[in-house]
């Protein structure tokens, strides 16, 4: 199964279960961009980040390889969507003041992607990519949900996921631009166990595991976890892995 097929099949769960990223992250992106005319949101999925970027830029161009994700993406007056791989924006050269990638960089073909970033970037444009890294929860939630789920999903993670967990090291992504230091950002959430489970269900490894006959085992873990924990909100913290650069 390709990544596009995986995420395309999971559109409704993805849109409902994926949390938005901190406003401070988008404020930082806007402040670092040389202007706020055009931003490109690459691998935009169902548009959670696209909407936030659109609040801070005059125009946003969102691209994703999944037609289902683009069809379901959140609309805005200053947002234009296109079904396209990461290395084909549909934008003219030199127009993007910011190029953003939210939890998708690890799926791209870097040999093709970086030249397209260089082509569409305006002088001094900001490149920023981030991804969910790990989940920090209370020990009882970890024991009931994350531990058992991760034990089932371990064989189903793609190498791309593992690349994001390593924090997108320069030696592995081959980024040709001058890296800049970004602040540490994290999602700080009050989620019920049901909400946490909804998020876990959006993972590509979860889709692969279900396709491989592990759906009943995952459902049993989820049902037992909710029975054990109840459904009161719990603290969930997700630090973001992030890489940023000045495109020149």
- Structural domain contains residue 8: yes
Kindly report the average pLDDT of the chain as a whole number. Answer: 92
Mean pLDDT of 18-47: 95
The distance of Cα 169 from the centroid of its chain, to the nearest Å, equals 17
Task: Please tell me the predicted confidence (pLDDT) of residue 196.
Answer: 94
Cα distance between residue 43 and residue 66, in whole Å: 9
Query: Any idea what the CATH number is for the domain that residue 14 is in?
Result: 3.40.50.150
Residue 134 pLDDT greater than 90, yes or no: no
Task: Please tell me the predicted confidence (pLDDT) of residue 154.
Answer: 95
pLDDT digits (tens, 9 = 90+) for 59-110: 999 999 999 999 999 899 999 999 999 999 999 999 999 999 999 999 999 9
Q: How many domains does the chain have?
A: 1
Q: What contacts 154, CB < 8 A, 6 or more positions away?
A: none
- Structural domain contains residue 215: no
Task: Please tell me the predicted confidence (pLDDT) of residue 170.
Answer: 87
Query: What range defines the domain where residue 17 resides?
Result: 3-134+159-187+238-246
Task: Please tell me the predicted confidence (pLDDT) of residue 16.
Answer: 56
Cα distance between residue 139 and residue 145, in whole Å: 10
Task: Please tell me the predicted confidence (pLDDT) of residue 1.
Answer: 42
Does this model's pTM top 0.75? My answer is yes
Task: Please tell me the predicted confidence (pLDDT) of residue 231.
Answer: 86
- Structural domain contains residue 59: yes
Q: How big is the chain by its Cα radius of gyration, in Å?
A: 18
Q: What contacts 236, CB < 8 A, 6 or more positions away?
A: 135, 136, 137, 141, 187, 188, 189, 190, 191, 196
- Structural domain contains residue 195: no
């Amino acid at each position: 199964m390709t990544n596009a097929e995986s995420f395309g099949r999971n559109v409704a769960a993805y849109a409902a279960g994926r949390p938005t990223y901190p406003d401070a992250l988008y404020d930082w992106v806007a402040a670092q961009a040389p202007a706020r005319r055009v931003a490109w949101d690459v691998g935009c999925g169902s548009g959670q980040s696209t909407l936030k970027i659109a609040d801070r830029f005059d125009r946003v161009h969102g691209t994703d390889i999944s037609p289902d994700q683009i069809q379901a993406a959140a609309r805005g007056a200053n947002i234009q969507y296109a079904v396209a791989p990461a290395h084909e924006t549909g934008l003219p050269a030199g127009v993007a003041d910011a190029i953003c990638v939210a939890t998708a960089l690890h799926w791209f073909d870097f040999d093709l992607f970086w030249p397209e970033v260089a082509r569409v970037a305006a002088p001094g444009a900001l490149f920023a990519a981030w991804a969910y890294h790990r989940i920090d929860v209370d020990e009882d939630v970890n024991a009931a949900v994350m531990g058992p789920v991760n034990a089932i999903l371990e064989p189903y993670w793609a190498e791309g996921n593992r690349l994001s967990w390593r924090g997108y090291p320069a030696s592995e992504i081959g980024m040709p631009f001058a890296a800049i230091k970004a602040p540490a950002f994290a999602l700080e959430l009050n989620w019920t166990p049901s909400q946490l489970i909804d998020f876990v269900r959006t993972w590509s490894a979860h889709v692969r595991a279900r396709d491989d006959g592990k759906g009943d085992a995952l459902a049993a873990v989820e049902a037992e976890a909710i029975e054990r924990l109840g459904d009161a909100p719990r603290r969930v913290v997700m630090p973001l892995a992030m890489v940023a650069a000045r495109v020149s």
